[in-house]
Amino acid sequence: MESWLTTSPHRRWNPLRREWTLVSPHRTARPWQGQMERIAAPAAVQYDPVCYLCPGNQRVGGQQTPQYENAFVFENDFAALNSAAAATGAATAESDELLRAVPETGVCRVLCFDPRHDLTLATMQPAAIRRVVDAWAAQEAELGARPEIAYVQIFENRGEMMGASNPHPHGQIWATGSLPNEPATELLSQTDYLARTGNNLLLHLLERERREGKRIVAENETWVALVPFWAVWPFELLLLPTQHVTRMQELSDAQRSGLADMLQRVTAGYNRVFECPFPYSMGFHPAPADGPPHPEWQLHAHFYPPLLRSATIRKFMVGFELLGSPQRDITPETAAETLRQALARA
């Protein structure tokens, strides 16, 4: 790699989001005098009588969580979206350029990964994570097949720092009538790249990354985890299937097991970076569920962890990042090396 990429301020282009990230590798030595955050200790009990996600317990809405044994899905009792919205709302005039609103319809579900309160993806067995992958794929297929749904967003917020109020291993599934901002931009980028070059953007990137090697963190038969060249978050990761796949429901048996293995290794490795439960927001970007087959799209997952240099020092998106462009100090290549070492310390 050109040496200025490791020593001098520069910008890196994110071809997926069509924006620049500012990299300032010379700033890594600056002293930290900012806030330290408290990291919650991992849940110590297998069953918590006041946890609404533990089997058999009452939820705030009055429903009872059943005695489930594997992954368990239910409609969010306080959903940010519902199917009634479209029926009751009316769009503002299309001609109103300044104050424009349209009704949004959708479904919000919660997916408990495991009945045990004290487990996480990092400590679950790959076979149990595989059942979560199957549940994600089934949810994506079911919700995506609905005519009123255009996108199925599967995600997990892990840790209080990321706003997860309950340590019970769980994620969410939000299915929306419109295409949210991130996948909408990714659709434009991938469509444009295929039209201009004849290549799938992310598969082409994967080829390049495998040749260069320095940002690859983990690989198995069917999946690769890498720190994107343009990563914004210090230990951001992109997970890609090695073959062309547009949606989770299309994943083969081997690809599903490969994903379960990769999720376990990545989350366990994260926990070893600062020897603490590593908070993150992660989620999958499948192709839109709006009808066409989307050959330009490659299924992938993003991990966005906020920690910067210890269990309690996080990155903030403020100042220039909020008003200008995202910025980072440690280079993606350095982060990849740190992550490779953490994943190897099993």
The residue ranges that bind Zn ion (CB under 5 A) are 48, 51, 53-54, 117, 168, 186, 285
Residue with the two structure tokens 């994967």: 206
Task: Please choose, from the candidates 142, 294, 303, 181, the residue with its C-alpha nearest in 3D space to the C-alpha of residue 233.
Answer: 303
Residue 63, number of CB atoms within 10 A of its CB? 12
Q: What one-character-per-residue DSSP string does 183-231 give? A: HHHHHHHHHHHHHHHSS-HHHHHHHHHHHH-TTEEEE-SSEEEE--TT-
The residue (of 202 and 343) whose beta carbon lies closer to Zn ion is 202
Residue 103, number of CB atoms within 10 A of its CB? 14
**Using CB atoms, what's the residue nearest to Zn ion?**
51
The residue (of 151 and 274) whose beta carbon lies closer to Zn ion is 151
Residues 6 or more apart whose Cβ sits within 8 Å of residue 97? none
What does the DSSP 8-state code read for residue 81? -
* Residue 47: CB minimum distance to Zn ion, A: 7
The residue (of 229 and 274) whose beta carbon lies closer to Zn ion is 229
| CB 168, CB 200: distance < 8 Å | no
* Residue 56: CB minimum distance to Zn ion, A: 10
* Residue 31: CB minimum distance to Zn ion, A: 35
3 state SS of 5: helix
* Residue 146: CB minimum distance to Zn ion, A: 22
Residue with the two structure tokens 């953490």: 342
The residue (of 190 and 329) whose beta carbon lies closer to Zn ion is 190
* Residue 30: CB minimum distance to Zn ion, A: 31
Residue with the two structure tokens 């090396």: 337
Residue with the two structure tokens 């910067």: 308
**Is 300 one of the annotated active-site residues of the chain?**
no
**C-alpha dist (Å) from residue 320 to 5, 34, 51, 142, 323:** 20, 17, 40, 42, 5
| CB 166, CB 138: distance < 8 Å | no
The residue (of 54 and 218) whose beta carbon lies closer to Zn ion is 54
* Residue 298: CB minimum distance to Zn ion, A: 9
The residue (of 72 and 278) whose beta carbon lies closer to Zn ion is 72
The residue (of 274 and 303) whose beta carbon lies closer to Zn ion is 303
Residues recorded for the chain = 346
Residue 113 carries which side chain, given as an amino acid letter? F
* Residue 282: CB minimum distance to Zn ion, A: 11
Residue 344, number of CB atoms within 10 A of its CB? 10
Helices 126-144 and 253-273 pack at an angle, to 10 degrees, of: 120
Identified catalytic residue from 117, 170, 294, 300: 170
Report the Cα 86 to chain-centroid distance in Å.
28
Q: Which residues are catalytic?
A: 170
